[in-house]
């Protein structure tokens, strides 16, 4: 059994909980390794369609890198999939929802940025304070934040290390929704269930193409490019089932194939 994370499966939804509340869910290499294994299992499971990632306790989603562990002289090695097993996981086509229950700072915020959707508690706050301790947001924050909220708002956070509370995070586009703390997991699950109502093939195609399209400099180039995922979609059984179910006025019977 993992020591630093918890994994629960309910239907097509996998919930992964960072489980180090005594250190505000800070991530050290052993925790990263466990989280990487948890995401490996989620990606490999054909029946798992969506993951919800959250933190144990009420104070923190994750306070980021465990600096005390690092300062103690412990060896620092991260898995190939990146910090918390997610920040370098570029090949995962399944959606991941961050349910941010408290502080998401440094690497904790970079984990949120690596997710596809983020739901925040009213008590949540976000920031990349690495420059204040002689570090830098090297788990993707320096690249993902400008792409997700725009250059100047991102640099305002990156260069000062300032925190933003949940409502400002919503206005900036960092999160999709802000909810009362007791509603957080319910609303995150509602988003997950809405995704599960859609064709698994269509969802995977949409995520893959959206991410691959960002590598093109212009909209014209992105729309003109050829995507393997689209070729797979049009050959799938779901591609046929969707229009038939619509015409017959019934719910589709998705096979994810």
* Catalytically active residues, by annotation: 110, 130
* Residue 57 near residue 26, CB atoms below 8 Å: no
Residues 222 and 216: beta-carbon distance below 8 Å? yes
Backbone angles phi and psi of 166, in degrees to 5: -60, -40
Cβ of 222: how many Cβ atoms within 10 Å? Answer: 16
Report yes or no: 239 and 233 within 8 Å, Cβ to Cβ. Answer: yes
Please state, in angstroms and rounded to a whole number, the distance separating the CA atoms of residues 103 and 58.
9
Q: What angle do CA 145, 151, 155 make, to 5 degrees?
A: 75
| Burial class (CB within 10 angstroms; exposed 0-12, middle 13-18, buried 19+) of 177 | middle
Q: In sequence order, which ranges of the chain are alpha helices (DSSP H)?
A: 29-44, 67-71, 107-114, 141-149, 151-158, 166-172, 184-196, 200-213, 219-224, 228-234, 237-247
Give dist(CA 191, CA 207) in Å, integer.
15
């Amino acid at each position: 059994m993992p020591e630093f994370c918890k994994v629960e499966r309910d239907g097509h939804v996998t919930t992964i909980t960072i489980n180090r509340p005594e250190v505000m869910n800070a991530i050290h290499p052993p925790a990263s390794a466990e989280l990487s294994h948890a995401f490996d299992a989620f990606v490999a499971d054909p029946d798992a369609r969506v993951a919800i990632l959250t933190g144990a306790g009420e104070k923190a989603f994750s306070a980021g890198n465990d600096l005390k562990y690092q300062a103690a002289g412990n060896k620092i090695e991260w898995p190939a999939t990146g910090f918390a097993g997610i920040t370098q996981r570029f090949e995962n086509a399944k959606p991941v929802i961050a349910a941010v229950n408290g502080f998401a700072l440094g690497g904790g915020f970079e984990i949120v940025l690596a997710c596809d959707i983020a739901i925040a508690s009213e008590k949540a706050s976000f920031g990349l304070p690495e420059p204040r301790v002689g570090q830098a947001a090297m788990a993707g924050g320096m690249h993902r934040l400008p792409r997700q909220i725009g250059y100047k708002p991102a640099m305002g956070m990156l260069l000062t290390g300032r925190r933003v509370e949940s409502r400002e995070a919503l206005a900036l586009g960092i999160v999709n929704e802000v909810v009362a703390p007791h509603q957080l997991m319910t609303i995150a699950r509602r988003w997950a269930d809405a995704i599960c109502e859609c064709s698994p093939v269509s969802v995977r195609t949409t995520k893959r193409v959206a991410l691959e399209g960002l590598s093109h400099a212009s909209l014209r180039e992105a729309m003109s490019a050829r995507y393997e995922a689209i070729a797979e979609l049009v050959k799938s059984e779901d591609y046929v089932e969707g229009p038939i179910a619509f015409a017959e006025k019934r719910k589709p019977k998705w096979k994810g194939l």
